[in-house]
């Protein structure tokens, strides 16, 4: 295992960003920047041993300063949508930025992917880790509580990419952290992912209104185009005449995972039939947002490639969207002094 550091450009304010690269014994590498704790590259082999970068992104920090699609992003304090850009906690109403119509998306215009982080690296015999941490002060983005946060990225010699989120607040608050990487197992420059196969271990999903805010209903996927319990191409049903797909212009929905929540369990797969690359997904979060890059259009990315609609797919492990306003959903409230501790694993291989 090894950890490498190199410059990653300067921000508009002149701050220098650093790129950290972890490499395992199989030659797999993952790169991150201390600006936003963003994932920049994930480079893995195909069935013939040819390596390619399987996440969308930018060549330097300049792209990540804007990054409207959220490539590789560490999302917080609250990932996904909050209806009406407000919530009540302990009898007090909190108003947030309205950056998605009248709603709040990914905590506002400056999310956790736009701050610099303190870094610490750890090298073990069969894994290397990098921890990004900072204090999110009381009322940052409109959320109560001073929140000590860290996200630790680990690469193992088993080609596992482990993400661990830790947070503690000095006041009751809401927390919902995720990663917003856009995966394309054929390589980030290969175009549409709609032929790639997906499996999600979820019997139900949460339908939304036209603004993509969950209605509170939990609906069975049986007999609908939302059913991914068996591997199928992402594009097989994406244009079906089905209300939720019409509303979102494709998949942009929270799935209710069939897990206990007590341990990290396998909940999904992504497979590219041409390269034979496979990615398994594990988590102990209750939900996952499947997003097929429906709003991506002509974005200048890495190596001069222009990303278009459906150029990647996101698997955002999470509490359900708007759970802070839906008492019937698992609660994202973090009580003062309690620890938020969740893990997501992306394991790469070939079939």
180 is catalytic: yes
* Cα torsion through 209, 317, 339, 153, rounded to 10: -150
Tokens of 122: 């750890």
Note the Cα 253 to chain centre separation in Å: 13
The CA distance from 148 to 158, in Å, is: 30
Tokens of 127: 């894994």
The CA distance from 111 to 140, in Å, is: 10
Per the residue annotation, which of 131, 140, 160, 316 is the catalytic one? 316
- Other CB atoms within 10 A of residue 263 CB: 9
Task: Show Cβ contacts of residue 170 under 8 Å, excluding neighbours closer than 6 positions.
Answer: 138, 145, 146, 336, 337
316 is catalytic: yes
HEC per residue, the chain: CEEEEEEEEECCCCCEEEEEEEECCCCCEEEEECECCEEEEEEEECCCCCEEECECCCCCHHHHHHCCCCCCCEECCECCEEHHHEEEECCEEEECCCCECCEEECCCCCCHHHCECEEEEEECCCEEEEEEEEEECCCHHHCCCCEEEEEEEEEECCCEEEEEEEEEECCCEECECEECCCECCCCCCCCCCCCCEEEECEEEECCECCCCCECCCCEECCCCCCCCCCCEECCCCCCCCCHHHHHHCCCEEEEEECCCCCCCEEEEEEECCCCCEEEEEEECCCEEEEECCCCCCCEECHHHCEECCCCCEEEEEECCCCHHHCCCCCCCEECCCCEEEEEEEEEEEEC
Per the residue annotation, which of 180, 188, 253, 310 is the catalytic one? 180
Residues forming the active site: 180, 316
């Amino acid at each position: 295992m090894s950890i490498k550091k190199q410059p990653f450009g300067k921000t508009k304010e002149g701050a220098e960003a650093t790129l950290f690269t972890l490499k395992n014994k199989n030659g797999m590498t993952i790169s991150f920047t201390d600006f936003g704790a963003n994932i920049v590259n994930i480079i893995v082999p195909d069935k013939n041993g040819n390596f390619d970068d399987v996440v969308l992104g930018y060549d330097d920090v300049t792209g990540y300063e804007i990054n409207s699609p959220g490539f590789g992003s560490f999302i917080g304090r609250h990932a996904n949508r909050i209806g009406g850009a407000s919530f009540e906690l302990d009898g007090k109403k909190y108003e947030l930025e309205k950056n998605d119509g009248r709603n709040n998306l990914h905590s506002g215009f400056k999310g956790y992917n736009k701050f610099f982080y303190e870094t610490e690296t750890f090298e073990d015999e069969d894994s290397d880790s990098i921890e990004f941490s900072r204090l999110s002060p009381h009322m940052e983005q409109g959320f109560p509580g001073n929140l000590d946060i860290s996200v630790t990225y680990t690469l193992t010699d088993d080609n596992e990419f482990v993400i661990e989120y830790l947070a503690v607040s000095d006041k009751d608050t809401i927390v919902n952290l995720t990663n917003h990487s856009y995966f394309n197992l054929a390589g980030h420059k290969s175009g549409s992912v709609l032929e790639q196969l997906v499996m999600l271990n979820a019997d139900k999903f949460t339908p939304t209104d036209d603004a993509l805010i969950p209605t509170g209903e939990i609906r069975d996927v049986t007999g609908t185009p939302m059913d991914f319990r068996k591997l199928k191409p992402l594009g097989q049903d994406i244009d079906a005449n089905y209300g939720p797909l019409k509303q979102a212009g494709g998949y942009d929905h929270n799935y209710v995972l069939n897990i206990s929540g007590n341990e990290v369990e396998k909940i999904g797969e992504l497979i590219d039939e041409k390269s034979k690359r496979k990615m398994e997904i594990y988590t102990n979060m209750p939900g996952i947002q499947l997003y097929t890059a429906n709003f991506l259009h002509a974005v200048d990315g890495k190596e001069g490639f222009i990303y278009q609609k459906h150029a990647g797919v996101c698997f955002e492990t999470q509490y359900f969207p708007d759970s802070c306003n839906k008492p019937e959903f698992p609660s994202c409230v973090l009580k003062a002094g309690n620890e938020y501790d969740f893990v997501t694993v992306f394991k790469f291989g070939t079939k």
